């Protein structure tokens, strides 16, 4: 690697260092209890000495009915180890790895194959690769990610195809940093485990009733712009552009996702390009949806 590449990598590594709080893990995991029964849970971006994910699953091993808990520790420079827990209150078994615990390393991929559910907060700088690997190996997962990952075309495609959705807890989370300070990140949970929030019926009441002042049409796409999620009209059956926060309330029984305005690949019909305009003004980060009838 050149000096510059090294510097960029080091900066990315530094940006990836923020740690999930126990309370946030507990708040989210309580919605998936039935999914952990008799399962092998793998924390593949977690130093078990520090990770609150390790702490949480060790403490809850029996109440969740886990079969096994595994964590691999990553070190950029040197070989590391994995830790395995086989029962509540037992001594974890430490095994050296010959590689550095990179989630992509063949050793870690072998462990991934053995796992049923992957849970972690992965390096944000490797978001696309990280999620792609989980999908390639057809794994169940609950992971922390940046809210803006929604608009990454690879991840949006999974959302659109109902292969990945948001978790339950509100976004904007606080994390500890290596220097002991806290950092707020517009982060949320992503999962492919069912939870009851996805089935909630929302009590929206606004009507479209042809009101093009409140619901203007896009200049370059046959849809209406809905500026605020709570304004989604109950009587409009065509395509609507809504802010990406819609996904926090997305019930797949009620709505179909048809596209996103972040790039041509995200539009199934190739109808619109990178941007969508209302009266010549660009709108950003819109998801296009249609009510299911």
Ligand X SMILES: C[S@@+](CC[C@H](N)C(=O)[O-])C[C@H]1O[C@@H](n2cnc3c(N)ncnc32)[C@H](O)[C@@H]1O
Please, what is the minimum distance in Å from the beta carbon of residue 93 to ligand X? 20
- Alpha helices, DSSP H, located in 140-252: 153-160
Asked whether the CA dihedral 152, 154, 156, 159 is positive or negative, the reply is negative
How deeply is 196 buried, as exposed, middle or buried, from its count of CB atoms within 10 A (0-12, 13-18, 19+)?
A: exposed
Region binding ligand X by CB under 6 A among candidate stretches 57-65, 119-127, 204-212, 227-235: 119-127
CB nearer to ligand X: give 122 or 259: 122
Name residue 81's beta-bridge partners.
96
Please, what is the minimum distance in Å from the beta carbon of residue 123 to ligand X? 4
CB nearer to ligand X: give 52 or 262: 52
User: Which one among 28, 29, 42, 46 touches ligand X, defined by CB under 6 A?
Assistant: 46
Give, in order, the Cα–Cα distances in Å from 213 to each of 49, 139, 207, 232. 57, 46, 13, 14
Name residue 249's beta-bridge partners.
none
Please, what is the minimum distance in Å from the beta carbon of residue 122 to ligand X? 6
Apex 100 CA angle, 95 and 104, nearest 5: 105
CB nearer to ligand X: give 188 or 278: 188
Number of residues that bind ligand X (CB under 6 A): 19
x/- binding map, residues 49-78, to ligand X, per CB under 6 A?
Answer: --xxx--------------------x----
Please, what is the minimum distance in Å from the beta carbon of residue 175 to ligand X? 7
| Interface positions, 74-113, toward ligand X (CB under 6 A) | 74, 101-103
Region binding ligand X by CB under 6 A among candidate stretches 115-123, 231-239, 254-262, 265-273: 115-123
Q: Does residue 208 bind ligand X (CB under 6 A)?
A: no
CB nearer to ligand X: give 53 or 165: 53
x/- binding map, residues 120-159, to ligand X, per CB under 6 A?
Answer: xxxx--x---------------------------------
User: Which one among 6, 9, 14, 17 touches ligand X, defined by CB under 6 A?
Assistant: 17
Name residue 111's beta-bridge partners.
none
What spatial distance separates the first Cα and last Cα of the chain, rounded to whole Å? 55
Phi, psi dihedral angles at 229 (to 5 degrees)? -60, -40
What DSSP state is assigned to residue 32?
G
Please, what is the minimum distance in Å from the beta carbon of residue 268 to ligand X? 33
CB nearer to ligand X: give 171 or 198: 171
Q: Does residue 45 bind ligand X (CB under 6 A)?
A: yes
Asked whether the CA dihedral 137, 171, 273, 228 is positive or negative, the reply is positive
Q: Cβ atoms within 10 A of the Cβ of 111, count? A: 21
Give, in order, the Cα–Cα distances in Å from 185 to each of 5, 182, 206, 233. 26, 10, 32, 31
Q: What residue ranges bind ligand X (CB under 6 A)?
A: 16-20, 45-46, 51-53, 74, 101-103, 120-123, 126
């Amino acid at each position: 690697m050149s000096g510059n590449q090294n510097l960029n990598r080091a900066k990315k590594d530094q940006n990836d260092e923020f740690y999930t709080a126990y309370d946030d893990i507990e708040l989210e995991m309580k919605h998936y209890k039935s999914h952990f029964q008799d399962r092998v849970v793998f924390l593949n971006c977690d130093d078990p000495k520090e990770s609150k994910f390790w702490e949480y699953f060790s403490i809850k091993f029996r109440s969740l009915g886990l079969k096994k808990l595994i964590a691999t520790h990553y070190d950029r420079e040197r070989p590391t180890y994995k830790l395995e827990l086989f029962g509540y209150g037992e001594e974890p078994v430490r095994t050296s790895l010959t590689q550095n615990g990179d989630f992509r390393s063949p050793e870690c991929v072998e462990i991934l194959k053995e796992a049923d559910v992957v849970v972690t907060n992965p390096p944000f700088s490797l978001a696309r690769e990280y999620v792609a690997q989980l999908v390639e190996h057809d794994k169940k997962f609950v992971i922390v990610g940046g809210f803006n990952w929604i608009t990454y075309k690879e991840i949006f495609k999974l959302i659109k195809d109902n292969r990945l959705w948001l978790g339950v807890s509100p976004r904007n989370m606080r994390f500890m940093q290596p220097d002991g300070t806290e950092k707020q990140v517009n982060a949320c949970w992503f999962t492919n485990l069912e939870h009851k929030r996805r089935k909630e019926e929302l009590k929206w009441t606004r009507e479209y009733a042809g009101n093009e002042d409140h619901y203007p049409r896009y200049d370059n796409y046959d849809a209406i712009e809905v500026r605020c999620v709570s304004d989604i009209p109950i009587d409009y059956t065509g395509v609507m552009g809504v802010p990406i926060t819609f996904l926090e309330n997305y019930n797949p029984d009620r709505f179909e996702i048809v596209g996103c305005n972040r790039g041509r690949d995200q539009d199934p019909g190739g109808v619109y390009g990178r941007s969508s305009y209302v009266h010549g003004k660009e709108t950003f980060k819109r998801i296009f949806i249609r009510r299911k009838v």
